[in-house]
Amino acid sequence: MNNEFALDVKKGLTAKNKYIPDRQYYDDRGSIYFQELMVNEYYYPTNSEYEIFENYKSEICKIFTYNNKKIQLIEFGAGDGYKTKILIKELIKLNSIFTYYPIDYSEKYLIELKSNFSKIFPELRLKYINKDYFAALKDFKNNNDNYRKIIFFIGSSFGGLTPDESNSFLDSLHKLISNDDMVLFGIDLKKSPTVLRKAYHETCKNWCFYLLNRINTELGGNINLNNFEYYTNYDPVTGEYKWYFLSKINQVINITKINLDVELEKWEPIYFSKSKKFSEKEIAEILDNHNFKIINQFFDKKNYFTNIIFTKK
Using CB under 6 A as the criterion, which residues of the chain lie in contact with ligand SAM when the complex forms?
Answer: 23, 26, 34, 77-79, 82-83, 104-106, 109, 132-133, 154-155, 157
CB of 128 to ligand SAM, least distance (A): 11
Nearer to ligand SAM, 158 or 228 (CB): 158
Q: How many CA atoms lie within 13 A of 82 on its CB side?
A: 16
Longest dimension (CA), the chain: 64
Nearer to ligand SAM, 39 or 225 (CB): 39
Nearer to ligand SAM, 23 or 248 (CB): 23
Contact 43, 37 (CB under 8 A): yes
User: Can you tell me whether residue 244 is helix, strand or coil?
Assistant: strand
Distance between CA atoms of residues 187 and 98, nearest Å: 26
Nearer to ligand SAM, 38 or 284 (CB): 38
CB of 105 to ligand SAM, least distance (A): 4
Closest residue to ligand SAM: CB criterion: 155
Distance between CA atoms of residues 135 and 23, nearest Å: 14
CB of 203 to ligand SAM, least distance (A): 13
Distance between CA atoms of residues 124 and 146, nearest Å: 18
**Structure letter (DSSP) for residue 303:** S
Contact 57, 84 (CB under 8 A): no
Please state at what angle helix 28-38 crosses helix 193-219, rounded to 10 degrees: 160
CB of 45 to ligand SAM, least distance (A): 8
Rg (CA), the chain: 20
Nearer to ligand SAM, 228 or 310 (CB): 310
Nearer to ligand SAM, 81 or 221 (CB): 81
CB of 103 to ligand SAM, least distance (A): 6
CB of 70 to ligand SAM, least distance (A): 23
CB of 120 to ligand SAM, least distance (A): 17
Residues 6 or more apart in contact with residue 310 via CB below 8 angstroms? 182, 183, 185, 287, 292, 293, 294, 295
| Cα-to-chain-centroid distance, residue 152 | 11
Sequence letter at residue 303: N
